[in-house]
């Protein structure tokens, strides 16, 4: 090739190379210009929030990485007002009326794709299914198993686990060793849900999490909380975990469910005739043509995956706050002692008896209010008609949500002492005042997507809290920062509370 040909070739290469650079730069500037145009013309252009949140979802990812999403969410609303931007198309609202519209029973909004990441990319479950209509179809055959009537059949399972828990507390009272309260409450709640679901405890209260199933579920929740902000990456990330053999719960939990399901179907595992667990009830519905094997597998999986964290967090909060606020503990003990003296409280406590103890129920509600298990906003997608609420028009496709923490600490709803643990707020004589609290109570969600296992959680708390406070005292140990009660949040806000167990002082 001649020298001149080399020159022309180099010139052509530089020209093409320069073209690529200019093309990329032009595309980048076009995207920036488009974003600026859309931002300036958006009806939400004046919604305040952190500067970076207007441009990227990385800001919210950083908030989750710091484990402080709930208190940060509250602080944002204190700084910016009732509507706050969390990401370019994602907003948090601090309004009871807005919460009713977003989560309510009538014309509620579909979930956002954030929830896809709490399940396999190619198969939706009761929690990760975003469409209300499809969710209702899945939920319908399962709902009767969580009804108030069904709860009575689960009491023997709870009684068995309560007895074991009290034995463990007795052991700690004898040896004087410090106890991780939240961990023990998680072991308890997990054993209960195992008994109720498949008639088999995991044995966690005695042996700890040797199988690693709690860790598996924790990993799945952490993955969902982070990947939910970038759901378009979920398919690729989930496939990568399978290739790298990383366990996020996508396989281990269904394998566990399948093991117990097959044992029951093949007659290898039968319950005593006086007991009926979820699995028995679901198989009966299958025979009657009211449910399918999909529904059976779904109910078992959902119970085991989500059936312990909310209860464990609420129990830890209730016990810790009772002993941090001695007056509330005294009031509760007086109620329990009076009921026992009147012959209205057996040992073990029945659910029906516990429901007639107003202060106990107020303690449970207040624990659930002051420390909701879920620390992230409950995000929904605005439908094709758009939505006018909280002073703004949200265009179709906008993601809007309410955080239970934000609503529960809203002083215009729960009073100027919303940050204080005060069960008495739930004992208001004024029915309308109580109705306002109930409408804005979001610990189990609200509306059509209310947590299906809510009643089971309330059953466990109602029965075990009286058993504990009647017999034991807890000395709460401060951590290195001088805190008696702290927590970290990804999806769940898991508290850290260390205690020394003492037998109750009667003096």
Kindly state whether residues 31 and 92 are assigned to the same domain: no
d(CA 392, CA 91): 11
Kindly state whether residues 27 and 106 are assigned to the same domain: no
Q: Return the structure tokens found at 103.
A: 């989560």
Kindly state whether residues 440 and 464 are assigned to the same domain: yes
Annotated binding site for heme: 451
Residue 13 has pLDDT above 90, yes or no: no
Residue 171 belongs to a domain: yes
Kindly state whether residues 37 and 60 are assigned to the same domain: no
Greatest mean pLDDT among 15-24, 140-149, 151-160: 151-160
Kindly state whether residues 35 and 61 are assigned to the same domain: no
pLDDT tens digits, 261-299? 888 888 777 766 667 788 888 888 888 988 888 888 888
The residues, ordered by sequence, that sit 6+ positions from 467 with a Cβ below 8 Å of its Cβ are 162, 165, 166, 347, 348, 349
Residue 390 · residue 401 · CB < 8 Å: no
Annotated binding site: 451
CA 437-442-444 angle, to 5 degrees, is 125
Helix axes 181-198, 293-306, angle to 10 degrees: 160
**What pLDDT is attached to residue 507?**
45
Kindly state whether residues 7 and 75 are assigned to the same domain: no
CA 112-79-399 angle, to 5 degrees, is 10
What b/e string do you get for 146-166 counting C-beta neighbours within 10 Å, with b at 16 or more? beeebbebbbbbbbbbbebbb
Domain of 364, in residue numbers: 54-503
Kindly state whether residues 268 and 304 are assigned to the same domain: yes
Average pLDDT over residues 199-206: 88
Residue 31 belongs to a domain: yes
Kindly state whether residues 153 and 18 are assigned to the same domain: no
Sign of CA dihedral 279, 285, 288, 289: negative
Q: What pTM, to 2 d.p., does this model score?
A: 0.89
pLDDT tens digits, 217-269? 888 888 888 889 999 988 888 878 777 766 555 566 777 788 888 888 887 77
Q: How many domains does the chain have?
A: 2
Residue 380 · residue 92 · CB < 8 Å: no
H-helix or E-strand containing 135?
Answer: helix 132-139
Length of the chain as a residue count: 507
Residue 444 belongs to a domain: yes
Please tell me whether residue 140 adopts helix, strand or coil conformation: coil
Kindly state whether residues 406 and 470 are assigned to the same domain: yes
Kindly state whether residues 36 and 173 are assigned to the same domain: no
Q: Could you give the count of Cα atoms lying within 13 Å of 159 in the half-sphere of its Cβ? A: 13
Residue 496 belongs to a domain: yes
Greatest mean pLDDT among 20-29, 78-87, 225-234, 485-494: 78-87
Residue 229 belongs to a domain: yes
Kindly state whether residues 151 and 272 are assigned to the same domain: yes
pLDDT tens digits, 322-352? 999 999 999 999 999 999 999 999 999 999 9
CA 436-94-124 angle, to 5 degrees, is 95
Kindly state whether residues 376 and 314 are assigned to the same domain: yes
The CATH number of the domain where 400 resides is what? Answer: 1.10.630.10
């Amino acid at each position: 090739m001649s020298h001149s040909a080399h020159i022309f070739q180099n010139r052509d290469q530089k020209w093409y190379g320069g073209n690529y650079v200019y093309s990329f730069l032009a595309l980048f500037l076009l995207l920036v210009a488009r974003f600026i145009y859309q931002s300036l013309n958006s009806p939400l252009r004046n919604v305040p929030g952190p500067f970076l949140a207007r441009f990227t979802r990385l800001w919210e990812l950083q908030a989750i990485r710091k484990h402080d999403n709930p208190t940060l969410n509250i602080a944002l609303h204190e700084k910016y007002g009732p509507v706050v931007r969390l990401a370019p198309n994602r907003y948090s609202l601090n309004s009871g009326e807005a919460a009713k519209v977003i989560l309510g029973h009538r014309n509620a909004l579909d979930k956002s794709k954030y929830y896809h990441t709490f399940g396999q990319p190619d198969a939706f479950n009761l929690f990760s299914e975003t469409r209300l209509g499809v969710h209702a179809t899945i939920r319908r055959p399962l709902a009767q198993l969580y009804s108030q009537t069904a709860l009575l059949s689960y009491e023997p399972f709870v009684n068995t686990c309560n007895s074991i828990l009290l034995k463990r507390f007795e052991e700690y009272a004898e040896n004087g060793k410090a106890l991780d309260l939240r961990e023990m409450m998680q072991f308890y709640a997990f054993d209960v849900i195992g008994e109720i679901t498949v008639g088999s405890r995991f044995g966690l209260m005695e042996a700890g999490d040797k199988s690693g199933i709690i860790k598996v579920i924790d990993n799945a929740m952490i993955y969902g909380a982070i990947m939910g902000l970038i759901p378009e990456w979920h398919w690729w990330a989930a496939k990568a975990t399978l290739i790298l053999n990383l366990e996020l719960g996508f396989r281990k939990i269904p394998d566990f469910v399948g093991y117990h399901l097959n044992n029951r179907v093949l007659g290898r595992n039968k319950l005593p005739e006086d007991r009926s667990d979820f699995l028995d009830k679901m198989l009966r519905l299958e025979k009657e043509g009211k449910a399918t094997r999909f529904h059976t597998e779904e109910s078992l999986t959902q119970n085991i995956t989500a059936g312990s964290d909310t209860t464990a967090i609420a129990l830890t909060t209730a016990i810790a706050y009772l002993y941090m606020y001695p007056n509330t503990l005294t009031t509760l003990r007086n109620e329990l002692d009076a009921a026992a003296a009147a012959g209205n409280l057996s040992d073990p406590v029945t659910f029906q008896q516990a429901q007639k103890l107003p202060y106990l129920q107020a303690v449970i509600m207040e624990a659930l209010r002051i420390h909701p298990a879920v620390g992230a906003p409950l995000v929904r997608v605005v439908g094709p008609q758009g939505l006018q609420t909280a002073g703004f028009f949200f265009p179709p496709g906008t993601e809007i949500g309410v955080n239970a923490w934000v609503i529960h600490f809203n002083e215009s709803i729960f009073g100027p002492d919303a940050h204080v643990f005060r069960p008495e707020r739930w004992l208001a004589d004024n029915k309308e005042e109580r109705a306002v609290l109930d409408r804005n109570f979001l610990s189990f969600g609200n509306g059509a997507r209310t947590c299906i296992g809510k009643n089971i959680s309330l059953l466990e708390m109602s029965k075990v809290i009286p058993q504990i406070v009647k017999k034991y005292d807890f000395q709460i140990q401060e951590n290195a920062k001088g805190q008696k009660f702290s927590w970290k949040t990804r999806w769940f806000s898991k508290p850290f509370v260390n205690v020394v167990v003492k037998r109750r002082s009667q003096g």
